[in-house]
Structure 1
Amino acid sequence: MFTQLKNIDTAFKHIKQFSIFLIIGNVLTMCFCIYKSTQAVSLAHNQVHILYNGKLLEAIAAERKTNLPVELRDHIKTFHEDFFDLSPDDKAIQANVGKALYLADESAKRQYDNLRESGYYNNLISANISQEISVDSTRLEGNQWPYIFTCYATEKLVRSSGTVYRKLVTQGEVRDIAIQTDNNPHGFLIQHWEILANRDTVVQK
C-alpha cells in the first residue's frame, strides 16, 4: 500500500513538473509570437507604396535623423546651384537667385545685392557668359542645430574667348525651420552665409 502511495506521489510530481515546463514553454512561445507580430506590424507601417509612371514602387520610411546629413548636403548643394548657375539673361538670373533666396536668410540677399551693385551680373549679360557650378564636397561640423558647413565647389565660366574655372569656398550654418514648402522642401534655412574664396584656377582658350 505504501509503495502504491509512493508511486502515486512520484507520478504527481512528474505531472506537476511536466505541467510547469509546458506552461513556461507556452508563455515563451506566446511572447515570441507577440514580439514577431509587433515587429511585422511596425515594418508594415514603415513601408510606403508609390505609384510612379504606372508602376507600383515600394519605399521604406525612416526617421529623419537617419538621413539628416544627406538632406543637409542636398539643401546646401541646391542653394549653391540656384545661386551660381547663371545664364546671360537678367530674368533667368533673377529667377534662379530668387529660388536660392528661399533657402537662406538675409546673408544670401546681401551677397546678391553686393554682386549686383558691383556690376557682376551686368558683366555676365554684356559678355554673354554662362556660369555653371559643380559642388565638389560639403563638410558638416557639429552634432546639433545649427549645423556649420563649408562648401567646396568649382565654377565654370564659358565665354566666346575661352573657359575659366574658379575655385569657390563658402561657409555658413543650417538651421531647421520645421516647415517644408514647395520652395523649401527640406525645411532648412542657411544663415550667416559668406564667400571665403572665389578665385581663377584654370583658363582655357
Structure 2
Amino acid sequence: MLIESLAQKTKLAMMTVWAVVGGCALICGFTVWCCVSLVNKERQQIYVLDGDIPFLAERAKLEANFIMEAEAHIQLFHQYFFNLPPDNDYIKWTLGKAMYMADGTALKQKQAMDENGFYSDIISSSAVCTIMCDSINFDEHERKFTYYGTQLIKRRTRDLKRSIVTTGNIENVPRTRNNPHGLLITNWRTIENKDLDY
C-alpha cells in the first residue's frame, strides 16, 4: 500500500515536472519568436537624426514615388525648354539642361524653332517667356503623359498668352547629375500651341 502510494506520488511529481518544463519551453519559444519578429521589424525602419532627436522615416511605395518623380521630371523639362529670357548664354544653358532630360525628338523641335528664328526673335525683341504648368496627365501603365501649360510672352509692346499642350513617353535611364530623376522623355511632340489673348 505504501509502495503503491509512493509510486503514484512519484508519477504525479514527474507529470508535474514535465508539464512545467513543457510550459516553460512554450513560453521561451514564444518569447524568442516575438523578439526575432520585433528585431526584423525594427531593422526595416530608418531613423533620421535632427540634432539629437530621432525621427522615423517612412518608406514610400515605389509606384507612388515613380509617379511623383515622373511628373517632376516632366515639369522641370518644360521649364528648361520654355522659360526663356532675352539672354543668349542663358537660353543655351537651359536648353542644354533640357536636352539631358529628353531624347532626339526634343532636339529636333529645338532645331526647328532655331531655324524659324524663335530664339533670335526673343533676344532682339527683349522678350521674356515663362511657362506655368496647368496639369499633367500621366498614365503609369503605358508611361505616357500629356502636359498642359500656359506660356506668357512679355514684350515691350504687348504681352501674349499661349496654350501649350505636349505629349510623350517616359523611360528609365541611369541617374546622373544632369538627370537626377533617372528618366528620359521620348517621342515628345507639341500637339497644341495657340494664342489665348493679348
Report the TM-score, using the length of structure 1 for normalisation: 0.85
CA contact (8 A) 1:157 1:165 kept: yes
User: Which residue of 2 is the match for residue 124 of structure 1?
Assistant: 122
* Structure 1 unaligned regions, length at least 5: none
User: Which residue of 2 is the match for residue 84 of structure 1?
Assistant: 82
- Higher Rg: 2
Report the TM-score, using the length of structure 2 for normalisation: 0.87
Alpha-carbon deviations, 1:21-60, whole Å to 9, x = none? 21011011011111212222332xx345589xxx999684
User: Which residue of 1 is the match for residue 182 of structure 2?
Assistant: 187
CA contact (8 A) 2:150 2:161 kept: yes
The offset of 1:174, in angstroms, is: 1.0
2:102 to 101, 104, 116: 104
- Is it true that 1:167 corresponds to 2:169 in the alignment? no
CA RMSD of aligned residues (A): 2.4
Q: Distance in 2 between matches of 1:162 and 1:129?
A: 10
The offset of 1:119, in angstroms, is: 1.6
Q: Distance in 2 between matches of 1:16 and 1:69?
A: 60
SS in 2 for 1:167: strand
SS in 1 for 2:129: strand
Question: Residues 135, 129 of structure 1: CA spacing in aligned structure 2 closer, same or farther, 3 A cutoff?
Answer: same
User: Which residue of 2 is the match for residue 113 of structure 1?
Assistant: 111
SS in 1 for 2:44: helix
SS in 2 for 1:67: helix
* Structure 2 unaligned regions, length at least 5: none
- Is it true that 1:151 corresponds to 2:147 in the alignment? yes
The offset of 1:63, in angstroms, is: 6.7
User: Which residue of 2 is the match for residue 40 of structure 1?
Assistant: 42
Question: Residues 142, 186 of structure 1: CA spacing in aligned structure 2 closer, same or farther, 3 A cutoff?
Answer: closer
- Is it true that 1:135 corresponds to 2:151 in the alignment? no
Amino acid at match of 1:29: T
CA contact (8 A) 1:48 1:61 kept: no
User: Which residue of 1 is the match for residue 197 of structure 2?
Assistant: 202
How many residues in Structure 1 have an aligned counterpart in Structure 2?
195
Counting only pairs closer than 5 Å after superposition, residues 44-83 of structure 1 correspond to structure 2 as: 46-47=46-47, 60=57, 62=59, 65=62, 66-83=64-81
User: Which residue of 2 is the match for residue 23 of structure 1?
Assistant: 25
